[in-house]
Structures are given as C-alpha cells and as structure tokens.
A and B are shown apart, each in its own frame.
Chain A
Amino acid sequence: MSSYWRGLRDGAPFLLVIIPFSMLFGVLANEAGLPLHETLGFSVVVIAGAAQFTALQLLNENAPTLVVIASALAVNLRMAMYSASITPHLGRLPLWKRGIVAYFLVDQTYAQAVLDYEKTPNQTTIEKFAYFMGVMSPICPPWYVFTVVGALVGETIPENLGLDFALPIAFLAMVGPMMRTPAHRIAALVAVILALAFAWLPFNTGLLVAGLGGMIAGAQAEIRLGSAS
C-alpha cells in the first residue's frame, strides 16, 4: 500500500472527531452573528479548533481585538512544540513542502504522523510526507466542509451520542502505543498530573506547563534509565 493511502486509512477514524467539532463551530459562529464567509474564513485561515472557539467566545464578549488575538494564540502555542518535534522527520523537505506541512499541522495530523514515524522509522522523507498528506486528507478538508454545514444547518449532532468523548478516546488510543519505554511512560504520567494540577491556568496555558514538564521528565528519565524498553 502506498504511503498516501496508508495515511488516509489511519486518518479516517478522525472523521468521528472532526465532523461534530467543526459543525459545532459553524453553529456557534452562526449564532454569534458571523456571516458564512467569516465562519469559513476562520476554519480555512486559522484551521485550529480550540483557538477558533476561544476567539469566537471572546469576540462575542466584545473583548478588545488584541486580547482576542493574544488569547487564541496562547491556546495555539503547543503548535510550536509540534513543529519542533516533527522537524527531525520532515526537515529535509523543500521549503514549500515544509510550508504545506506547517499549514496542516494540527493535533490529529501531528499525533498520527509521529506515531507512525516512530513505529516505522525506516521511511524515506518522501514517504513520510506522502503519509502526512494522507492523514491530513480526511481531517482538514472535512474541517472546512462541516464548518459550513454546521453554519447552514444551524444545529449540531445531538450530545447524548457520547461524541463529546470521541476526541479523548482517539488521542488516548494513540498514547497507548507511544508509551514504548519507561521514559515515555514517566513523561505521560508527569504530564497528566501537571495537566490536572494546572488546569485552572487561563487560556490552556496549563497544557504548556504540563507538556514541557512531561518532556523534561521523559528526557531526565532517559538519561538515568536509558532509552531501552
């Protein structure tokens, strides 16, 4: 199977996450009085769920423009960590392809791609890029399409289906295979404890504390315990 199709297959389950989330954004943007082109503008230009919801909520509260921008960017700071983390895999691509990867680098594409690159380390950079584009295909274009559907239909998929929990389940299923060594398991554990302890910090910044804390814990554990499983 080609790398692109393998990526497409692995990205497909995320439709269960993407469809309800993007529809919800469309519905809320419509209710906030945004015309369709602005709603779609958010999903195409910003293409980041949590940051879009933050910006929409603050716009709705008539917060100052700079506060809206700074707050939503704070929610997106983890993207810089993703960018650093994927660079050893894709840094050899020509600049325009790295630009394409950067644009489509969201939680789901990052997580699935890194999981695959760690599981199958012998891929060429070309194969890794094709895989990334495959993963992106059922995630990013549907994000645009179902934002519009949500804005037009004006109602979201009913909550009692448990779809609110599709995102946690998708990510947790990927975290399982990522915990390959004691250092990886320590990183995850420390990150979870810090995320719960600092959940009260505004604009998702607790996530940064937890992510950085987990990474430091993993690196320290690797020095002490080695990287064998």
Chain B
Amino acid sequence: MSGSTEVWVVIVALGLGSFGLRFVFLGLVGDRAMPDWFLRHLRYTAVAVLPALVAPLVVWPNATDGDPDPARLAAAIATVSVGYLTKNVIAGMGVGAAILIGLTALL
C-alpha cells in the first residue's frame, strides 16, 4: 500500500472530480433552457443507465463468481415484471427478494 500523502491526494482529487461530474450540468446550466434534442435524450437517462448497471450483475453474479444462477435470474425477471405491472417499487422489491430467498433455499 502506498504512503498516506498519496492516499489523500487520491481522495481529494477523486472528491473534486466526482463533484465536478455531478455539478457540471446542475451548476453550470441551471435554469437555462436546454435544446429539445438534448432533453429528449435526457428523458431516457434513468431507464437506460439503471438496467445497464445491473444487467451484468444479474447475468454474471459476483456471489457465484460469474456463473449464471437460476435463482438470481428468476428473482430479477420477477422484480422487473412486478414493478412494471403494478408500478409499485416496494411490491417489486418484496416479490424479488422472496423469490431469491425461496429459490436459494430450495435449489
């Protein structure tokens, strides 16, 4: 492990850099109007980035060292389906968790 000064250099640089990334539009654009084509893309940020974030974790879970796991796949599909059909986030989480725990115990 590197020295203490280097660790703090990393912490401060990462802190400033991460804040910069989070602030760049919120701070610099603020309430100025953004072009329509840009807003049109932004409407799909959450619904694109979040599934992309979890898809590899679902198909190649860390807990099984990357081997596809039927219990986790089934839980993931059930969670999205319940969330989609009921529009209820807590219901989706509950059903997904129940299926994961149930199938892990059975399989």
Contacts and interface: CB of A to CB of B under 8 A. Distances in A.
Interface in B45-85: 45-63, 72, 75-76, 79-85
A98 B27 contact: yes
Contacts of A42: 11, 14
B85 A32 contact: no
Interface residues of A, number: 95
Given A164-B61, A173-B96, A219-B44, A46 B89 contact: no
B17 A73 contact: yes
B43 to A, nearest CB: 7
B50 A175 contact: yes
B83 A215 contact: no
Contacts of A99: 23, 27
Contacts of B1: 32-34, 59-60, 62
B11 A98 contact: no
Chain B interface residue bracket vs A: 35 or more
Contacts of A72: 10, 14
Nearest to B15: A45
B61 A165 contact: yes
A129 to B, nearest CB: 12
A145 interface: no
B84 A162 contact: no
B39 A215 contact: no
Contacts of B11: 38, 41-42, 45-46
B30 to A, nearest CB: 5
A168 B83 contact: no
A177 B50 contact: no
Interface of A: 10, 13, 32-35, 38, 41-42, 45-48, 51, 55, 59-60, 62, 65, 68-69, 72-73, 76-88, 90-92, 95, 98-99, 101-103, 105, 107, 110-111, 114-115, 119, 159, 162, 164-179, 183-184, 187-188, 190-192, 194-196, 199, 206-207, 210-219, 222-223
